[in-house]
């Protein structure tokens, strides 16, 4: 085939069909909206639109197709109804706790064992997560719609640093304010392919990518662009599947964001658009227990604390108060106390 410097129409289309940049690692960059359009061009709309026809229309079509009377249809409906398959008594799956019969004991043991098993479905996200496990565990997996804005994804990402409460409260442990960092520090950005997508929805938002961009200007980096997170939908983006991108919030809390799949909605996906971005997986984090009782999740962290075995030291609320205050709530000794939010809060 003769080489040509101009792209033919077909070649242009192929630009947006994902191909590997590095085999089994990540794809080359492609335009998500254009990739979707390529699919829609070749697929019959029946294959990807899951809107159900109105029941009345379905009824009329059925009557015509079968050549029956409307009365017969009603009769068929009641005979074939799913309700007619239900037994009239409730069958709970719970084995009674009062176990005299050996059969029940066995059933109970099997039931307890079953509950310890984790579901093992291997879709592409899971496969990816399992591969990643050698290095790092994906903390959270979300399904997001192409039509959604980057800010919708931002709002769905759970991170404890959004929940921190700033301040030292050893003198006023009952007066920890309800404001969390998310209410105070709303700036954030995604960094995709040389562009910083900043959140600018609120007046207090700042461009926190500025420092980085200024730093790169004094080095030999290409010029980075900025755009608004809330004005950019996923359809607008050119992305690489499998490539590590960056999400930064709370100044310097950084998260790796990886797009693991881009596809049309399936029949067995959640079809309620309002529920997206949809969290499909959240990795359970080990909770940090109180260093005294080793039982409850920590609520306080102290420093310069003569009562504590370590510095800093974690306490549950009960142990913290028992060790550091008398009956009347007076502070005992010198220490600094900060509210602690456990990473396992989202478990
Ligand atoms: Zn974070
Ligand atoms: Zn405790």
Q: What is the pLDDT of residues 102-116, one digit of tens each?
A: 888 888 888 888 777
pLDDT at 239: 95
Nearest CA to 320 out of 333, 337, 341, 345 is that of 337
Residue 292 CA to ligand 1 center (angstroms) comes to 28
Q: Which residue has the tokens 């009562």?
A: 307
Mean pLDDT of 242-256: 93
**Mean pLDDT estimate for the chain:** 86
Residue 189 CA to ligand 1 center (angstroms) comes to 11
Residue 172 CA to ligand 1 center (angstroms) comes to 28
pLDDT at 121 over 60: no
Tokens of 185: 């520090």
Q: How far is CA 169 from the centre of its chain?
A: 32
pLDDT at 280 over 50: yes
- Give the count of beta carbons closer than 10 Å to the beta carbon of residue 192: 22
pLDDT at 4: 42
Q: How confident is the model at residue 137 (pLDDT cuts 50, 70, 90)?
A: confident
Question: Could you report the per-residue pLDDT of 74-100, keeping only the tens digit for each?
Answer: 999 888 888 888 777 666 667 777 778
In contact, 240 and 259? CB cutoff 8 Å? yes
Q: Point out the ligand nearest to the CA of residue 182.
A: 1
pLDDT at 151: 97
Give residues whose Cβ lies within 5 Å of ion ligand 2. 290, 292-293, 296, 316, 319
Residue 200 CA to ligand 1 center (angstroms) comes to 18
Cα 335 to Cα 155, 164, 176, 293, 294: the distances in Å are 36, 20, 16, 20, 21
Q: How confident is the model at residue 12 (pLDDT cuts 50, 70, 90)?
A: low
Kind and range of the H or E element at 315? strand 313-315
pLDDT at 38 over 80: yes
Cα 57 to Cα 54, 70, 78: the distances in Å are 5, 13, 18
pLDDT at 114: 78
Residue 325 CA to ligand 2 center (angstroms) comes to 14
In contact, 168 and 336? CB cutoff 8 Å? yes
Q: Point out the ligand nearest to the CA of residue 321.
A: 2
In angstroms, the CA 167 to CA 234 distance is 38
Question: Could you report the per-residue pLDDT of 180-200, keeping only the tens digit for each?
Answer: 888 889 999 999 999 999 999
In angstroms, the CA 225 to CA 298 distance is 42
Mean pLDDT of 163-170: 88
Phi then psi for residue 181, to 5 deg, are: -55, -35
Q: Point out the ligand nearest to the CA of residue 257.
A: 1
In contact, 186 and 179? CB cutoff 8 Å? no
In angstroms, the CA 223 to CA 239 distance is 19
Give residues whose Cβ lies within 5 Å of ion ligand 1. 159, 161, 253
pLDDT at 337: 95
């Amino acid at each position: 085939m003769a080489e040509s410097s101009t792209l033919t129409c077909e070649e242009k289309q192929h630009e947006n069909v994902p191909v590997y940049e590095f085999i089994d690692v990540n794809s080359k960059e492609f335009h998500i909206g254009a990739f979707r359009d390529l699919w829609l061009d070749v697929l019959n709309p029946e294959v990807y639109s899951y809107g159900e026809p109105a029941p009345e229309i379905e009824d009329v079509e059925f009557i015509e197709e079968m050549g029956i009377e409307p009365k017969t249809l009603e009769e068929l409906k009641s005979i074939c109804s799913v309700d007619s398959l239900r037994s009239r008594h409730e069958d709970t799956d719970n084995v009674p706790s009062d176990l005299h019969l050996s059969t029940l004991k066995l059933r109970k043991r099997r039931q307890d064992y079953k509950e310890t098993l984790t579901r093992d479905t291997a879709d592409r996200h899971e496969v990816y997560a399992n591969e990643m496990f050698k290095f790092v565990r994906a903390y959270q997996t979300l399904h997001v719609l192409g039509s959604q804005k980057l800010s919708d994804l931002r709002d769905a990402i759970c991170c404890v640093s959004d929940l921190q409460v700033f301040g030292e409260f050893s003198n006023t442990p009952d007066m920890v304010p309800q404001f969390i960092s998310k209410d105070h520090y709303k700036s954030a950005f995604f960094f995709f392919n040389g562009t910083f997508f900043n959140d600018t929805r609120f007046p207090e938002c700042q461009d926190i990518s500025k420092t980085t961009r200024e730093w790169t200007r004094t080095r030999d980096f290409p010029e980075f662009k900025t755009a608004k997170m809330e004005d950019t939908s996923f359809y607008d983006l050119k992305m690489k599947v499998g490539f590590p991108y960056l999400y930064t919030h709370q100044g310097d809390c950084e998260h790796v964001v990886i797009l693991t799949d881009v596809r049309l909605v399936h029949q067995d996906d959640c079809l309620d658009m309002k529920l997206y971005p949809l969290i499909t997986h959240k990795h359970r984090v080990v909770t940090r227990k109180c260093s005294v009782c080793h039982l409850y999740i920590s609520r306080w962290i102290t420093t310069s604390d003569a009562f504590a075995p370590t510095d800093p030291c974690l306490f549950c609320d009960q142990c913290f108060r028992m060790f550091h205050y008398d009956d009347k709530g007076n502070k005992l000794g010198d220490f600094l106390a900060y509210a602690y939010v456990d990473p396992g809060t989202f478990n």
